[in-house]
Chains A and B, each alone.
Chain A
Amino acid sequence: MTPDKLQPLNLPQPVEVELGGEGLPQTVRNCVTAEKTAVEAVIEVWRIDDEWWRQPISRHYVEVVLQGGRHLVLYKDLITGDWFMQKV
């Protein structure tokens, strides 16, 4: 890292998500580690549309608990259609 340069934390990591009948995630596969985990519960769903005046951001967020108890935030980039995960 160059001196005095900010490095963002909790950057989104790409994942592959399999959706269930209601359009909610059922399994999550980490694209880096190739680890696939089933979703145990969906806690919350929300949407963010922002910064339309420059680089538009449009995301569909799902907060989930994976099998084993791990807590994650998943979102689908509605512009590119890709899924990402972030820590809560």
Chain B
Amino acid sequence: MSKAAGRSRQVSERRVHFSGSRTGKEKREAYTPRGVGTVLSSELAVCIWYPLFALRCELLRRPEFAARPTALLATEDVRRLWQIAPSARREGVKPGMTVGQAVGLCPSISLWEPDPVYYDEQFSNLLLALGNVSPVIEPAELGRAYVGVDGLEKLYGSPEKQVETITQAVAVWQEGLGIYCPTVLPSYRLGWGRGKFTAWVAATRAKPGEAVIISDEERADFTASQPVGVLRVDQVTHRRLWQLGIKTLSDLAQLPEIAIVSQFGRMGRQLWSLATGRVVDPVAGRETPEPIVVEIDFPNPVVDRTMLVHALDRLIERALHHPQRTGWRILEVQARARQENCASWMIGATLKDPSANRDHISAPLKVRLEQTPPTRAIETLTVEFTQFARGTDELQLFARDATSSARAGRQRALRTAVREIRTRYRYSGLYQVVEVQPRSRLLERRYALINYDP
């Protein structure tokens, strides 16, 4: 038994080994929930965790490097290292090091520039595969996602069976990659438990290719025995916890809530709630957006193919900017038209990889347009996004819809900061620039500051 297993032996969690290969040839139809007005959430969670997801994606493309020391460069600063293969780590190479430092420590290291769009696509496909098991999927970060399994015992059976079903779904995704590399693929870990936190901690305690299942009876003991390192907080908070002598979640839970809040603010309350097990953080699946429809009426019916292609591009751009689309990639797109004399025309495409890029979405439509062009002049052209695939927050920092998700990320960060400041000082002291009379000839009347209250 591994060290991790030994540490948690007293809570007798169940370990399940999965092979990473699909048993049976059946393939379920992709189920994309259209949750109109429904909240997709689940207390029972399975955490699937692929450590070094981006690097492993890269190794799938270059399996010959699987056993060699390799590293990915950071997306924002290619002079520094981002993800390091274990073989390079053993040589002393660490994330954040400069290329010079890494080569000095490990001259045989292979350094690759990151291909974030590729990793994003792979992760989107993984989420899509998990969507075949449960409608409640919550992506957390690149390589980590939660599957809500409330009520699935009637469909799949015991937690072990549920884990096995997820393993099969992941195997389908892996087969779809088209490359099989036994040293790279079965590297993910699964954790089953009540609440995302328990599932995540269980996944961190699982060996590669295994699952750890924590039942409700075991949950309190299991959580209490964990080191504070399992909490997803920044290094400064970790250091402060250690300096205060808080080494396990049990230490944290034994302190009064107010003491933790006074030291760590709002985050402290969350940490304390997690440590005491008073809060179960459910998996929150995002509702798939309703189809997004945009259309254009031509004042004069259009026959010219170039004009139609141009209009398609503009409509796809408009649809991509729709607020509902944020955080989602397009899987299926349709273009239809009303022609002269009430005739109609329609083409559609399913994208091989979900995308939020205009050119990727329009390319198959343009091919269809060439193959089956409209028979008459077009009066109204409509583009509809009908199927969507999930993206992740972290991914979208460098994915194709980076701008919108970065904006959303900034908003979230600001909201958190404002709440924190207000908790301490009663008012935020932050202001927002608002348009008052943006076209006024008097410059001082155009913009003003107002209290920022997100």
Interface residues of A (CB under 8 A from B): 1, 3-12, 48, 50, 57, 73, 86-87
Chain B residue, CB-CB nearest to A88:
B443
**Separation of A2 and B317 alpha carbons in the complex (Å):** 42
Is residue B442 within 8 Å, beta carbon to beta carbon, of the partner chain? yes
Cβ distance A56 to chain B, nearest Cβ, rounded Å:
13
Cβ distance A72 to chain B, nearest Cβ, rounded Å:
11
Contact B444 A9 (CB under 8 A): yes
Among B200-208, B303-311, B426-434, the stretch that binds chain A is B426-434
Contact A1 B451 (CB under 8 A): yes
Q: Which B residues lie within 8 Å of A9 (CB)? A: 433, 444, 446-449
Cβ distance B185 to chain A, nearest Cβ, rounded Å:
56
Contact B444 A7 (CB under 8 A): no
Cβ distance B448 to chain A, nearest Cβ, rounded Å:
4
A8-B444 CB under 8 A given contacts A1-B431, A3-B427? yes
**Separation of A87 and B443 alpha carbons in the complex (Å):** 8
Cβ distance B291 to chain A, nearest Cβ, rounded Å:
39
Q: Which B residues lie within 8 Å of A5 (CB)? A: 450-451
List residues 365-421 of chain B with CB under 8 A from any CB of chain A. none
Contact B441 A48 (CB under 8 A): yes
Chain B residue, CB-CB nearest to A59:
B442
A10-B451 CB under 8 A given contacts A1-B431, A3-B427? no
**Separation of A5 and B431 alpha carbons in the complex (Å):** 10
Cβ distance B297 to chain A, nearest Cβ, rounded Å:
39
9 contacts between A and B (CB under 8 A): A1-B431, A5-B450, A7-B449, A8-B445, A8-B448, A10-B443, A11-B444, A48-B441, A86-B444
Q: Which B residues lie within 8 Å of A10 (CB)? A: 443-444, 446-447
Contact B448 A73 (CB under 8 A): no
Q: Which B residues lie within 8 Å of A48 (CB)? A: 441-442
Q: Which B residues lie within 8 Å of A87 (CB)? A: 443
**Separation of A86 and B451 alpha carbons in the complex (Å):** 23
Chain B residue, CB-CB nearest to A2:
B451
Cβ distance B429 to chain A, nearest Cβ, rounded Å:
9
Q: Which B residues lie within 8 Å of A8 (CB)? A: 436, 444-445, 447-448
**Separation of A86 and B446 alpha carbons in the complex (Å):** 12
**Separation of A77 and B5 alpha carbons in the complex (Å):** 80
**Separation of A9 and B438 alpha carbons in the complex (Å):** 12
**Separation of A4 and B447 alpha carbons in the complex (Å):** 15
Task: Please list the 7 inter-chain residue pairs (A to B) with the smallest Cβ-Cβ separation, ordered nearest first.
Answer: A6-B448, A7-B449, A9-B447, A86-B443, A8-B448, A11-B444, A8-B444
Cβ distance A55 to chain B, nearest Cβ, rounded Å:
12
Contact A7 B442 (CB under 8 A): no
**Separation of A86 and B123 alpha carbons in the complex (Å):** 50
**Separation of A9 and B451 alpha carbons in the complex (Å):** 14
Partner of B443, one of A3, A4, A7, A73: A73
**Separation of A58 and B444 alpha carbons in the complex (Å):** 15
List residues 284-324 of chain B with CB under 8 A from any CB of chain A. none
Chain A residue, CB-CB nearest to B436:
A6
Cβ distance A54 to chain B, nearest Cβ, rounded Å:
14
Q: Which A residues lie within 8 Å of B427 (CB)? A: 3
Q: Which B residues lie within 8 Å of A1 (CB)? A: 431, 449, 451
Contact B441 A50 (CB under 8 A): yes
**Extra inter-chain contacts (14) besides given A1-B449, A50-B442, A87-B443, CB under 8 Å:** A1-B451, A4-B450, A6-B450, A7-B431, A7-B448, A7-B449, A8-B436, A9-B444, A9-B447, A10-B443, A10-B447, A48-B441, A50-B441, A86-B444
Cβ distance A58 to chain B, nearest Cβ, rounded Å:
12
Chain A residue, CB-CB nearest to B428:
A3
**Separation of A48 and B444 alpha carbons in the complex (Å):** 14
List residues 314-345 of chain B with CB under 8 A from any CB of chain A. none
Chain A residue, CB-CB nearest to B447:
A9
Q: Which B residues lie within 8 Å of A57 (CB)? A: 442
